[in-house]
Structure formats: structure tokens, C-alpha cells
Structure 1
């Protein structure tokens, strides 16, 4: 059980214990306080001693006995803000920790000289003196395995804060002492220029973008069943059907009434939808939260997946649209097998920039075509990937920090122009440290203060301030992105802090794309590591198999043979425009019916190949496509039959085949037994009408009494098996049923009698 949070103001007492605490806060936790007066006087010995103290106590698991986590920290200190710090102290050991003290201190005069210095400080690897105490708080005893939260509030006029005369990042030491245990964590305190007399320098341009998309797609089983059976969805749907039901099955959670209310009725509206592919109620709720966040921060550049906007009903202000369903262009180029994607159901036409704009307009958005951006997928951008993106209509792409491996002394504009055979591509590259932190990751595993959002935000603001200070009069435009899964709360925290940063000028994507490029080239300086595309290959194979199943139904099972080239292709936006009922319920046209089935399958395929890389959601869409194919082929099935008893040399075995599809099928029914003495005829051709049944009869021939099992199966006109197998038991009891049988028996009896007579009446040989 966690102890309650204890909030304290800084101590100012004169007792002996408080005097020790004041000394600690002033820097006594480090070994050479005299040396701290000279900022340049740091030694490896003192750094080693500090590290040794910080790791002096270890739990049996190898973790530090006590760990510190920043729960809250003022990201930007102004003339009036003061400094607020909240730290969680966790006792990882198996013994209780005594009461102790947590103290914070900074260095009001220190200025970081390089990015490596900042990184080394974050990793507790360098000894920068922090002689300016911010305050300290008492930490109560902590029982084994539990934690407590303490709060330190520092007033704006506190001496250490008032001593800061120049803006920028400052080192922050957070130290915890309890008995013989000492834990030290390094973070950052960033002072703005507010209230300082230092000269103002131009703000650095920063573009912050995020992809608005989701991999949490679900299937509406009721709508898919209606589509397969060509029934009216409005009359056949039930209150328990639809997206909410499928979402419950996929996520393993109950869909309660309170959840529907909490999600703004998303689940209720989903149940009434006739669309086969839907977003989960949870994803819809997240969209609503993101909409509120985006509305608060107009400088946040939203690059939206048009299919996601269409289904979620969200209409945020966007900077542009990305490839539909966040299709993974980089993995597509890495695999370099266009036919594999086509066979799986994803053609190039589905993810062009033009189609992205068309889907956006079909969702009822503004008629003006938005800008298009290709967002990086699970692999890195290569020349092949950039060339393909450009050929698909994307003249600007968003790239991760791995795009250019060149190491420079200072950060530079992240705009590149790459010359490809399809045309020039503008690449907007993310800045590495800022992007890592914005993604919710620590810059390294040794940066212990960055294990929490608050700690990462403190580092992010300090890092951005340092980048402006290292070249204050050089025009640069950096890019920072959020991930596809960052929470609205985290995005709100970061954007609120960035908007308060006087050293930053938040720009839009168009401005960054049109700025003078850092580099123009016909090559890409990227990592030589080959991406692992095995998971994507597996998904492609699954999708190819499921699509082939549908095409096989068309060409080899339906009575009216339909080749793939004859299938009526539906407008890709048929389902997207929410007019599926009027288009799919099209009457007795199997070509259009199959076209609608392939449209749904290919929509699943597109959503199974999104840029976030293969995951559970990708597998769910691939499995949904396979389920669609299996359901179609399983709609023609053998009805279970009763055991057959045979009382003569031959008999008939009736087999009933049912067809729940809306069109007649022509199939082969096969039978084989596991006995050589009891056999059946092998094959019967049968035509089963739509929504009907048909019966065939197999001839049974027996040569002895006994039993056998007939394995009855279905195959298409190409003799390829499909569907279920039915086992029927055959029992044979031979009886004499005609005159020839009696003659044979009589003759055998006669021969037996003659043999006996000769045995008793023959003459014996004399030698016997």
C-alpha cells in the first residue's frame, strides 16, 4: 500500500538536522564543494565518487534500493512562476527504508557548452557543481516495495531562482538521503528570458507535427453477413450487433452501458452502422479527446489519415492528409515486390495522393484539395521508397531522425531535397533528441530522470533552449513529431510548454517545406542495416491466400463461372461514402456481388499493412480477411447424415449439400471409405440453388459383413477440396437374397455329403 503524498514548503529552521539538510541542498551531497565555485574545476575522481554514492545501495534484484521518479516539474521557469517539483520515491528493497530527506539544487551561473555535455549530465556521467539550493522536504519511512510522493514548491523570489541572470537550461540535482542510502538524479531547470535583462535573440523555428490515424480497426460481423447473404442490413441487424460487439470480442472487454455513455454514444451509433470496417469505440473516444487537444493548439500540424477521418467523423483543422490507412510505403519499397501486394489485395491506386484527397472530400470535408504528405513507415526512407512515393503523387515526405546519418556539431534545418527519377522529393527530417523525447522515450537508458513524462518534458525544453542558444542568429527550422499512439494528455503538456517558450517560433509544415533546404542530393545518407520485413511478408501471404479463396469461389464454385477480369470493380469509395446499402444490395448480379466482397477484403488488406509496423491490430485485419474467405467457402457445406446399414451386396448412400450463398453453385461431392470390402462410388457432380439444398446418392458395394467409414468431402470444378468433411458410418449385414445364392449353398452341401460318403465307403489299401 502506497503512503500518502506529503507536501512541504522548503525548510528554514535552525535545528541541527535542518542544518545538515541545508548543507546537502547547497551541494554537500557531492565530494568537493570547494571546487564548485570554479565551474571548470571538475575531476574524474569526484564524478566517480558521485556515481559510487548514487549506486551505494542495491536491492537483491539488482535495481537501486530506492529509485526517484519525477512526477511533476515546472518545464519553464519565468520571473513569476517559481519552481514546482514532485518526486516519487520508491523502496525497491525487501526492508523498510527509514525517514529521510529529498533536496534539489541548481547552478544559477552555469551554461551548457555542447550537446554531449547535456547528454552526459542527463546520464549522471559528469560532475557539474550545483551550489544553489532550491529547498528540501522530509520523506517519511517507506515500507518495503512501496513508494511515497513528496512535493517541493519554490517561490519565485527564492534566492537560488533569483540568482539566475541568464536564460537557458541549468543543471538540476535531485538527491534523496535516508540513513546510509543516497540516491542522486540529474535533470534540468530551464529559465526563460522573462524578467531578465539579457539581450533578446531571434527565436528558432520549430515545426511540430503528428499523424492522426489508428490501427484499431474492427469488423462489423453483422454487416459482413448481410453482404455475403445479400440481405437488407436494416432489417437483419440486431441491437447486439455491429462494431461495439466486435470490439468487445477483439479486446476481451465488456461493453457496458456506462462505457457507451462515457464514449459519447460511439458504441451505440456503431451498432446501427452498415459498414463492414469500423473503428473501435475506444478509438472514437480517443479521437474526441484529440480533437479537444488540437483545438487548443492551432500550431500543432495534423497530418490525417483520410480513412480514419472518414470513419471517426472527426473534422479537425489539418495541415494535410497522408496515405490512406497509413499504408507502409517504406516497407513496400523494402520488400520490392509489387505483385505480392497486388495479389494480397493492395494496388497502387489505393494509396495514391490523389485517392487520399478523394477520400478526404468524400467524408464531407472542404472541397479544396489538402496538401499531401507521405509519413514514414516501419522502415527507413530509401531512394526506392522516395521514388515510389513521388510517383504516387507525394512531393513531400516526413522522415525520422535516421534519414541522414551525418553528425554535425550543431543542429541544422531538417529540410532536404532529393532528386529521384520520378521528380524531386522534399524530405522533412525529424531532429533526433527532440523527436525521441516527444515520442515518450528516454534519450538513453542511463538518463534516469527521463523515465517519466515530466522528466522527459524537462529535458525536451532544456534541449530546445540549448539548440537556440548554440547558434542564436542562424535561421534554422527543426522538425519534431509525435507518434501514432501518443496520448492527448502528453501532447497537451508538450504543446503547452512549447507555446510558452520565448526562444521558439512554431511554424507550419508548408513553411518548413518551402525553407531553404539544408542539402540537395540524388542520394540518401542512411543506415546500412536491412529492415526486418518478415512479419510484413507473413501478413502478405495470409492476405494472398484469403483473396485467392474469394477468386476461387468465382471461377470454380459458382455455377456461373466468373473470371477475375470479369468481376465488376466497385468504386473504392463505395463503402467509404456510406452508401453501401444502395450499392451492394444490387440484385441478382454475381459479378457486382463478388466485386463488393473483394472491396471489403482489400479494405482489410490495406488496414493490415499500416506504417506502424506489424502488430496485433495488423494480424486482426489479416485474420478478418481470412475469416471472410473461409465464411464464403464454408457457405457450401455437407449436411450431417445418419449411419447407413447395408443388407445386400449394393445399396445407396444419400448425401445432402446445402448452399447459403445468394447464387447457385456447381461442385463435386467425393466419397472414399477406409475399407477394401465396403466401398462407395467416388464422385458426383451437383448443382445447388441459391439458399437451397441438393441431394446426391453414392452407390455402396460390399463383399463381406462389417463396418466402414465413408469420408465425404467437397471439391471445386478443378478438383481442389474445400469446405467441411462429413464422416458417415456404413454397416454391412449380408443376407441370402436370390435363387443363385441358394443353388450355390445347395451345391456346397452336396459336395460335402459326397465327400463324407467316399470317406466311409472307400476300400482300404492292404498296407494300411
Structure 2
């Protein structure tokens, strides 16, 4: 009776004590993966003197014919020789990961999983201080160790390095936790449906720089054989990297390539699935800045990065006016907010790729992240990247503690195991996951992953068209509110972008001023001297060439130039008119400005600087040379100055001159006309009221009175003595003598004959 009515709190405490005892026993018995070993591994593989163990290559997917191989590197970071040791590669062929947490904890080295099945036991030679050795192991497909992997799925893989220290001390070494995945190939059991995966590689670059020779020709020549787009170039290494990535589509037809139209000329005959926005223009930052007028002033109107412009550049590159390709907007440095989606849709993009920060759905399971979002300009399909797999594909470890994932081989092993876990998590669900490489992914990294995916029997590689056609994950009516509540909650780089726009607008204003207020306007549609040059009535981009605000005209002109590889020409076909020359300079500026607004911080800085250098170089082709120090010996004189013009067209400007003394004054404004590639002299009037020295400061001024170019200085010395003290005394003496002479004339005695 008493036992039946035992206090429940007593029974609960007894069960707790028993549970603690069982856990303690289990910990003691789990001798294969003691916690101490994991801790030693942490210490040994950090960037401090010790032992570093890394995975250089690893068979991530084991099939019936693959066998198993691994290449490991052991580095001795101590100051003493490391004695000979051994490497053991261990697994548990019967263990199944039960949750995402379980998978991650194994990668982080905190999960206690029994790994007693030995795949590899290899000897390691002694390692000198600061040295490293490479260890390679191979197992044939028929090796008995692999035969234990009788069921498909991801399994824990533990790599142990142990070196016996001298005089029998405690062994030292390192450990890594990674994964091995058995494919469904040749394995008994039910084969569940494959999980879909669309792997996308962007073909773009942020390695653009300025071609200084092309810039010089654009400024000093009116030859039509240099297009405005030639001012931006890619280095040889970057060109080769893009070419290598472009060729991957021939080996991996299921690799989806979204190409930047700006790199198409570099590739020659490009392979692509879809086009992204030109120069990977950052639409997300555009929406965050919320200042279309500032973008227009900077020379990057909507038409320059629209879907229509992307298609025009493709057609110009391959020389086929009927060529077509889907257009997909790639995410920039900010998020796909509702404003950003609306801006993309207005520019002609009905599909966008979200590489991150678009978590509006439950992420407890891997799902097809496709959304239909209504905007003011129409519906937009958002393709969301699977975050964990995309991070691994882009050389990001799943956590800072996942040490095996610090190498490509370790990350691919985790990618394969994670994808297998997603399939087993919902074996009968129809899903297609999007995995996006970043623009920095190398051809080798893409090749390694695609090779591994080729052995992953549970993965069915899909096209972007297949993914786009999937049903929306969330009711379209709910997506706007969910996006507003969860996406783009920080301001991102908005302030930096606004500062960049101000700088780009200033440099473009300088070039517009060159067209409207400096060039002489002597082509067929010139204005009168002193006015702003105008284009022909039928020329496109009139307003921009003359400095007026017309972003649409500017964008249209730039797109036409880039697509046709040449600006409008003069009648002989080899020389540009003055208006076309001015417009080409603006188009060159807008090309650089477009790259500056790509979203990459380093490229933004370099290209913003390049736009100002272009404007400075164009205005700097007009120079003012003073005549040297001047001595003035009279009340008026002239000061000659020389203006040199390195531009291919005449200029009409003024020379402004000011002095720091009121006794010596120069003419404020002196007009001058200088022929193309020539020079002319102007004479600045000088008026002197006394002797002394003054400094005249001369500077070029356009026809609107705005100065440009460097300020020159001329020292003026006057030797005029009429109004100094000695001159005054002489005058007084002369007056006194004159008066005395008159007095004597009136008071002297006259002769009788007078």
C-alpha cells in the first residue's frame, strides 16, 4: 500500500538520478570520440602554433563504382619536430542524422556520435618544425570497409591524426568532423523521388578598370573607331576567369548561367541561360536611395539598366538583331523590398533572384522558395536561394566551429550530406531548391560541386524555367505585407550610395559644361559664338549633350552606342561631329557611372574616382600659360597669356584675371578663341596708378562664367615714379619756381624801350 502511494516528487527525483547515472555511463563507454579529443582538435587547428589538419580532397558521394579516396594535409606549427604518427578515418554506417541540429552539431564537433568503423588507417611521417606533409588514401569500390555502407544517406566521418610524443608522453594530434554520403546507386531498399535543384552561376565581374589609352583617345580624337564603352576594361586574368566559367556550360548542360551583358563582348560567343541587368546594376540600392533624379543626373537613367537595354547589348554582341533571351534581375547589396521589386518590374524584369534576406516563409524544412509578388507595375516572380546550400557553394562554412568546412572539399562534403538530409527529411515531397554561386566563385569551385552533384542520385538538376514555373509558396495577396515585415529592415548602404550619386553628378556636370559652354559649336548645328552648342534636330540625346536634364535621352543614347559599337558619325564616316563627340564623352562617363553603382564597394570607389578623372582630363586638355613676370613702366600695359587646346574641336572661352592691389588693375574678362589641337594668345589690359608690386591670378572661365582649370599667377612690377614722394617734391619745386618767375616778371623794372 505504501509503495503505491509513494510521493510523486520522490519518484521523479529517483528517475532523474537514474537518468544522470546512465548518461555518465554512456559518456565513459564512448571511448571512440571522447570530449577531450574534440577539445584538443579545437586547439590544434586554430591559427596558433600547434597541429593543423585539413581536407584537400574527399570522396563526398560513395557509389557502387566510386571507391573512396582522401587527401589530407597535416601541418606542424610548433617549433619542434613532430614525431611519426597515424591518420584514422572512421565512420558509423548505421547512424542516421535525425535533425538539422544533429547535422550541425556534428560539423561543430560537439555531437557525441560513436564512429567505430574504420575506413582508412595510414601512417604519417615525422614533420619538421613549420613543415607539412600530405597523406593520400584510396579504397577500391570492392573494399570490405565500403561494403558496410549498405543503406543510402549521409553518415558521420571523423578524421583523426595522432602523433606519439617522446618519452611516452600523452599523444598529440588533431581531429576533424565531416561527412560521407552513400548514394542510392546499388543499394537495396525503396528509392524515393529525387529532390529538384537548380544551380545558377552568375557570369559577371567587379574587376573592371579604366583603359587610360582609350580615355585619352576619347578626349583628344574625334575618330569614330573608339566607342564610349571602350573606356572600361577587364584585365587578362579576369578575362580568362570569365572565359573558363563560360566554358563550364558545355560540360555541365544543367548549370544555369545568368550573364551580365557587359561581359558578353569579352566572351565572344557566350553561353547563357538568361540575362541579368547590365553591369549588375544594384536595383535594390536604387530603390533604397529613392532618388531617381539623382541617378539621372549621374547619367544612369532607368533605360540604361533596363531589360530592354540588356537585350539590345546581347544582340549587338552576337550581331543578331532577332536574338532573344530571358531577363532576370540579380540581387544587389540591399534586399528585395517591395520598392525594389516594383523598380525591377518597371524596368522590364518580371523575375528576380533573391540570394539572401528574403525569409518570409517557415524555414523548418527545405521548400521551393518561389513567390509571386504583385507590384504597381505588375507581378514579379521571386526565386529565393536555399540559404545553407548557397552559403556552402560560396565558400562560407556553416559556422566558425565547422573546421572541416574551411576547405572546398570539406564544404562540398557538407553540401552533399545536407542535400541528402533534406531529401530524407521529406522523401515524398516535390521540391526544387535554388542554389546560387556568387560572382567571386571560381571555375574550379563550380566544377568541383557540379562533379559531386553528378553522383548524387537523389538530386534532379532542374532549369531556371522549371523553377520559375513552380507554384507560389505563399498566397500572392499575403506577400507584400510579409515582405514589408521581414525584408530589408536595415538601411543598407543608402547613405553611401547618395554620396556616390552626388559625386557622379558633379563629374557629369563638368562634361556637360564642356559641351555647352566651352566647345565652339562650329558643326552643322552650331549656335552663335558664346552660346551652348546644339545637336542636329534628328540626333538622339540632344539635351544631355548640351547639359540639359534628360535622363531618358541619355540612357537611350548610351544603349545605342554600346549596342552598335560606334557613336553617330560625320558624313565621311570616320570622324564625329562636335555634338556627337560631346555625347560620346558623356556616354563614356555614364559607362563608368553604371559600374560605380554595381554594389561592390571597391568597384564603386574606383569607378567614382574614374568619372572625375575623366572630367578632369577632358577639361585639363585646355591649359592656360602665363607669360611670366611683367615690369610696367607706364600707366597702361598688356599682359599676354597663351591658351592651348588639346581637344579635336575649337573652343570659345574667357580668361579671368584679378590682382591683390588696387594700384595695379587688370581686365576682369578677356575672350579668346582657340582652334582644335592648337593654341592662341590673348592680351590682358593692365592699368597702373602708382609704383609697386602685385600678383595677378589668371584662370580659364567658360562662357557661362564658371571657372575651370588650374589658377596661374603672374607677378606685376610697376616702376611708374610720378606719384611717389620724390616726384611730388619735384612738382612742388617746379610750381614754386614757376610762381617766382611770374612774380619777378610782374615786379621787375622795365627798360624805357619796353
Q: Deviations over 1:233-267 (max 9, x none)?
A: 77xx9xxxx9xxxxxxxxxxxxxxxxxxxxxxxxx
Q: CA 1:582–1:550 in 2, change beyond 3 Å: closer, same or farther?
A: closer
Q: 1:85 to 1:553 in 2, by over 3 A?
A: same
Shift of 1:204: 0.7
What is the aligned partner in structure 2 of residue 349 from structure 1?
303
Deviation at 1:576, TM superposition (A): 2.6
Distance 1:325 1:514, change over 3 A: same
SS for the counterpart of 1:116 is: helix
CA separation in 2, counterparts of 1:548 and 1:58? Answer: 56
Match of 1:590 among 567, 578, 581: 578
SS at match of 1:275: helix
Measured in 2, the distance between the counterparts of 1:574 and 1:32 equals 72
1:51 paired with 2:38, answer yes
Aligned counterpart, 2:686: 700
Alpha-carbon shift at residue 702 of structure 1 (Å): 4.4
Distance in 1 between residues matched to 2:45 and 2:154, nearest whole Å = 31
- RMSD over aligned Cα atoms: 3.1
Query: 1:32-431 to 2 correspondence within 5 Å?
Result: 32=27, 34-35=29-30, 48-55=35-42, 63=48, 65-178=50-163, 179=165, 180-232=171-223, 275-316=230-271, 318-364=272-318, 367-431=322-386
User: What secondary structure, in the 3-state scheme, does the structure 2 residue paired with 1:165 have?
Assistant: coil
1:343 and 1:581 mapped to 2: Cα distance? 21
SS of 1:466's equivalent?
helix
Counterparts of 1:484-503 in structure 2, within 5 Å, are 484-503=439-458
1:764 alignment counterpart: none
| Secondary structure of 1:444 counterpart | coil
Question: In structure 1, what is the equivalent of residue 639 of structure 2?
Answer: 653
Contact 1:90/1:146, CA 8 A, preserved across alignment: yes
Per-residue deviation at 1:749? 8.4
In the alignment, what sits opposite 2:590? 602
Aligned counterparts of 2:614 and 2:108: Cα–Cα separation in 1: 52
1:254 maps to what in 2? none
Change (3 A) 1:653 1:401: closer
Give the match's secondary structure for 2:686. strand
Specify whether residues 54 and 529 from structure 1 end up closer, same or farther in structure 2 by C-alpha distance, changes over 3 A only: same
- Say which SS state the counterpart of residue 673 (structure 2) adopts: strand
Quote the Cα distance in structure 1 between the aligned partners of 2:576 and 2:134. 69
In the superposition, relative to structure 1, how do residues 150 and 198 fare at CA in structure 2: closer, same or farther (>3 Å)? same
| TM-superposition CA deviations, 1:693-716 (whole Å, max 9, x none) | 332222334455554432211222
Q: Separation in 2 of the partners of 1:558 and 1:224?
A: 18
- Tell me the alpha carbon deviations over residues 149-183 of structure 1, each in whole angstroms, 9 at most, x when there is no partner: 22222333334321111111110111122234232
Q: What is the distance in 1 between the residues matched to 2:420 and 2:378?
A: 37
1:444 counterpart = 2:414 = no
Matched, 1:531 2:492: yes
Change (3 A) 1:682 1:114: same
Give the whole-Å Cα distance in 2 for the aligned partners of 1:322 and 1:538.
26
Taking a change above 3 Å as real, the CA distance of residues 356 and 742 of structure 1, as seen in their structure-2 partners, is closer
Structure 1 residue ranges, 4+ long, deviating more than 6 angstroms after superposition:
740-743, 749-752
Distance, in Å, in 1 between the alignment partners of 2:364 and 2:378 is 31
Shift of the alpha carbon at 1:206? 0.4
Answer yes or no: is the 8 Å Cα contact 2:284–2:336 preserved in 1: yes
Shift of 1:678: 4.1
Match of 1:548 among 509, 527, 530: 509
User: Is contact 1:217-1:277 (8 Å) kept?
Assistant: yes
In the superposition, relative to structure 1, how do residues 742 and 276 fare at CA in structure 2: closer, same or farther (>3 Å)? closer
CA drift at 1:479: 0.4
Maintained 8 Å contact 1:637/1:658: yes
Offset, 1:604: 1.6
Tell me, what secondary structure is at the counterpart of 2:159? strand
Q: Deviations over 1:77-114 (max 9, x none)?
A: 11232221111122233444333222210011001111
Q: TM-score, normalised by structure 1?
A: 0.82
Bigger shift: 561-570 or 215-224?
561-570
